[in-house]
Amino acid sequence: MKLFDLTGRRALITGSSMGIGLALARGLARAGAEIVLNARNAERLKQAAEALRDEGAEALALPFDVTDHDAVRRAIDGFEAEHGAIDILVNNAGMQHRTPLEEFPPDAFERLIQTNISSVFHVGQACARHMIGRGRGKIVNIASVQAQLARPGIAPYTATKGAVANLTKGMATDWAKYGLNCNAIAPGYFDTPLNAALVADSEFNAWLERRTPAGRWGKVEELAGACIFLASDASQFVNGHVLYVDGGITASL
């Protein structure tokens, strides 16, 4: 299983103080990676890093705002200068806003673009500049089934996740020649803080169980295997791919 061994690699996961990001960090740590957690809330980030260390992981906290290009560049360059290479980047930071499109606030639309799309560019570029010089690196962007499907009330979110999927392909097209692997994971419906309102909605739960071939919500730990694969040598010739982890929802009418 050496192909999946991440021992000696360092992984930065954005938006990783809770939810999917923290679950991915935990999975990568169990595969041997040293973890660098990121979020804007420094206190919550510190608690998450301590929790991982209590589980035996090597974990550091690196707070910065993923929507601020200059702040991202300073944080990544400073970290690399002080601690060494970031070998794996997981662009997970994201947000949701649910409103009918005809009533959607323009400021909420702009926040979605900055958090869900621009952050992938900012952090991806900052890390890739170092990875290119080393001739290797793994970038895993977190998209969504909404890269392919739409649902009422979240049209701008759907647009952002479609953009993440296509930006992933663009990253691969530009950076594969330098030894980088750039891929995406597209989760289906997972029980996370971002989906708390839907999890609490009995009508939506009934619809989701009927709509998803697996008949249930995903568990965040079920995303770890896909991330380990895309972060490891097992995916060395995989580039520009969007891996759907969705219980079959995109395969079924």
How far apart CA 24 and CA 16 sit, in angstroms, is 8
Q: Please tell me the distance from the alpha carbon of residue 229 to that of residue 145, in angstroms, as a whole number.
A: 19
Give the integer Cα–Cα distance in Å for 223 and 21.
10
DSSP 234: G
Please report, for residues 21, 186, 207, the alpha-carbon distance to residue 35 in angstroms, rounded to integers and kept in the order given: 11, 22, 37
| Distance in angstroms (rounded) separating the CA atoms of residues 46 and 242 | 31
Q: For residue 233, give the nearest of 196, 181, 176 by alpha carbon.
A: 181
Residues assigned a catalytic role: 157
**What residue spans of the chain are helical by DSSP H?**
19-30, 42-54, 69-83, 106-112, 119-134, 155-175, 196-199, 202-211, 224-231
241: left (phi over 0), alpha (psi -120 to 50) or beta: beta
Q: Distance between terminal CA atoms of the chain?
A: 36
| Polymer length in residues for the chain | 253
